[in-house]
Amino acid sequence: MTELQELYQDVILDHNRSPRNFGELPNCTHRAEGFNPLCGDHLTLQLLLDGDIISQANFTGNGCAISKASASILTDEIKGKTVDQANEMFNQFHRLVMQEPGEISEETLGKTMIFEGVKDYPARVKCATLAWHALNGALNGQTLSTTE
Ligand code: ZN
């Protein structure tokens, strides 16, 4: 199988074709941009927090299939999570694709586990983690994240 066949699984292709939570989020409380100059992916993540709970998450922008599908699945999975839970998801996703030691739980990561395969393709790791860096930035008051 080629790199693309291996990575562009059906779920990823589906989220790329019909991204979930795509578009401006009116009244968002947190937002951050993510830029991956290596691939040209440029996404903005918008969050609506209700106290400590992420009640809605949207994204806008343009990018390759991996970066868009990752943002689409991320925004689906973090909805209803607390800020602490979202930070923990960020840490675990980072470990998953960077092959770093530490806890990785399927229960915590949910559907975002599908990106495990990108760990073998360093250039693609940046595409898959872009939305996550934007999430981390949005939650920590950093409005621009780049993968460089
Ligand atoms: Zn990309």
Pairwise CA distance, residues 7 & 10, whole Å: 9
Structure tokens at 30: 């947190």
Query: Can you give the pTM of this predicted structure?
Result: 0.93
pLDDT for res 90: 97
Q: What are phi and psi of 45, to 5 degrees?
A: -105, 135
Q: How far is the CA of 39 from the centre of ligand 1 (A)?
A: 5
- Which of these, 53, 41, 35, 52, lies nearest to 16 by C-alpha position? 41
Pairwise CA distance, residues 56 & 31, whole Å: 12
- Weakly modelled stretches of the chain, pLDDT under 50: none
Reported as half-sphere exposure (CB side, CA atoms, 13 A), residue 146 has a value of: 5
By the CB criterion, residues less than 5 angstroms from ion ligand 1 are 39, 41, 64, 67, 127
**Going edge to edge, which strands form the sheet with 41-50?**
53-62, 41-50, 30-36, 144-146
pLDDT for res 144: 81
Q: How far is the CA of 130 from the centre of ligand 1 (A)?
A: 8
Q: How far is the CA of 63 from the centre of ligand 1 (A)?
A: 6
